[in-house]
């Protein structure tokens, strides 16, 4: 197996540009967006158009959208490395502000399941709406989580039944990023909870569909610039053409596999975002220590602080390498479910510890909210990275199943 850790010249140049943008434009506005619970649409449009001009690339913008576009060949994916480029950009942008990434117009988390399982007609119909970002901004969303089923994907209870040329959906989804403003949501439901994964179906539910409504918009502790919504389906009539992949795709467990394939794509991106926040806190703490302590003096407390920072640094670096590997495997067309769960579990934990250590080392500098007190914001933002896209506990179960497939206790 060839192991390659170097980045292409194009990746390095674009990454430097994204970091410059995050440092000079994004971070100075981060606290204001947090207070306002949103990012101005004009700014989002500029970012979306920039991302589109780069073909998605190192910012998690719309990227390749239209169903008319030819799917890149395996060799082309290996050459361009879109998954690795995306995680590089996600970390750089999250270093500036993680909430902004979740606000960006485009298909968002709804894109991967449509691209992976949609029919050619569905890909064209649902993805082409993001081709022009110069006018009305549009979002896609991914509605899986329910009040009683989050990381336990098999436990969803939103029901679906066929009625003529429509499917009728009933249920409630929660914590859906951009769910309220999305042009469409990929909604998971079940024909029969007793069937478990085999009963799952995925639908594209368009805004304005009869029986579909938005519940509350969450008032969150962190990532307050992004919208997180509750979605309500009450006898929601979805055309049969909106069943993702069509009827033939559900002869087996394809509905559940659609959800899992999406996680394999998104977990490395989420891990990279966590690393961006963790790196921001780590660098802040390192700069604080250099400024406030005379490290040349032989003081036990200074040695202890240095050891704590060294531990944080190596944990972040280990998580980064695991994240890069998960993305690299995806670009090679290889299965990466185990590695995707590994990097998600490692990055979330490492970044949380980085924020905690930074606050403790910086003292009052790190715990008082207000202008310039970014550590407090990063601490609020980071907690969810050990929860969404599957909790840390779930990641460890997934990893154990992949390592020990014959062990029946999981």
Compute φ and ψ for 146, nearest 5 degrees: -130, 165
Residue pair 166/154 in contact (Cβ under 8 Å)? The answer is no
The radius of gyration of the chain's CA atoms, rounded to the nearest angstrom, is: 21
Residue pair 381/277 in contact (Cβ under 8 Å)? The answer is yes
The two structure tokens encoding residue 291 = 């400024």
Beta-strand runs (E) in 336-386: none
Q: What is the SS3 assignment for 160?
A: strand
Q: Which residue has the tokens 């929860």?
A: 387
Pairing of strands 228-239, 159-163: unpaired
Give the burial string for 317-350 (b: 16+ CB within 10 Å, else e). eebbebbbbbbbbbbeeeebbbbbbbbbbbbbbb
Residue pair 87/268 in contact (Cβ under 8 Å)? The answer is yes
43-50 contacts: CB < 8 A, separation 24 or more? 44/103, 44/104, 44/105, 44/137, 45/105, 45/133, 45/134, 45/137, 47/100, 47/104, 48/104, 48/105, 48/106, 48/133, 48/137, 49/133, 49/134
CA 307 to the chain's CA centroid? 31
389 is catalytic: yes
Compute φ and ψ for 143, nearest 5 degrees: -110, 95
From residue 328, alpha-carbon distances to 131, 290, 334 in Å are 27, 36, 9
From residue 379, alpha-carbon distances to 280, 373, 410 in Å are 11, 11, 32
The two structure tokens encoding residue 86 = 């995306």
Positions marked active-site:
389
């Amino acid at each position: 197996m060839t192991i390659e850790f170097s980045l292409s010249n194009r990746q390095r140049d674009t990454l430097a540009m994204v970091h410059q943008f995050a440092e000079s434009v994004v971070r100075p506005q981060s606290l204001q967006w947090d207070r306002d619970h949103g990012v101005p649409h004009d700014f989002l449009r500029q970012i979306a158009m920039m991302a589109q001009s780069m073909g998605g690339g190192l910012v998690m913008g719309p990227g390749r959208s239209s169903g008319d576009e030819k799917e890149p060949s395996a060799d082309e994916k290996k050459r361009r490395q879109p998954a690795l480029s995306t995680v590089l950009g996600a970390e750089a942008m999250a270093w500036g502000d993680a909430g902004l990434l979740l606000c960006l117009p485009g298909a968002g988390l709804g894109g991967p399941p449509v691209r992976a399982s949609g029919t050619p007609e569905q890909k064209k119909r649902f993805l082409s709406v993001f081709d022009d970002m110069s006018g009305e901004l549009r979002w896609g969303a991914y509605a899986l989580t329910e009040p009683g089923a989050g990381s336990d994907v098999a436990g969803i209870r939103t029901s679906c039944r066929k009625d003529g040329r429509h499917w009728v959906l009933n249920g409630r989804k929660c914590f859906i990023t951009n769910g309220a403003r999305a042009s469409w949501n990929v909604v998971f439901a079940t024909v029969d909870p007793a069937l478990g994964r085999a009963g799952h179906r995925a639908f594209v539910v368009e805004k304005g569909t009869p029986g579909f409504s938005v519940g509350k918009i969450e008032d969150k502790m962190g990532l307050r610039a992004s919208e997180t919504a509750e979605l309500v389906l009450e006898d929601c009539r979805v055309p049969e053409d909106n069943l993702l992949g069509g009827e033939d795709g559900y002869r087996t467990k394809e509905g559940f596999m659609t959800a899992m394939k999406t996680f394999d794509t998104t977990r490395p991106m989420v891990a990279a975002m966590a690393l961006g926040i963790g790196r921001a806190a780590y660098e802040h703490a390192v700069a604080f220590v250099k400024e406030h302590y005379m490290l040349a003096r032989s003081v036990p407390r200074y040695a202890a602080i240095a050891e704590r920072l060294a531990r944080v640094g190596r944990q972040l670096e280990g998580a980064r390498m695991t994240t890069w590997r998960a993305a690299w495997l995806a670009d090679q067309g290889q299965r990466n479910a185990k590695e995707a769960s590994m990097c998600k579990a490692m990055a979330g934990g490492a970044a949380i510890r980085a924020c905690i250590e930074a606050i403790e080392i910086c003292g009052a500098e790190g715990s008082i909210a207000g202008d310039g007190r970014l550590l407090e914001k990063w601490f609020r933002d980071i907690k969810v990275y050990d929860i969404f896209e599957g909790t840390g506990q779930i990641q460890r179960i997934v990893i154990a199943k992949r390592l020990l497939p014959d062990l029946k206790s999981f």
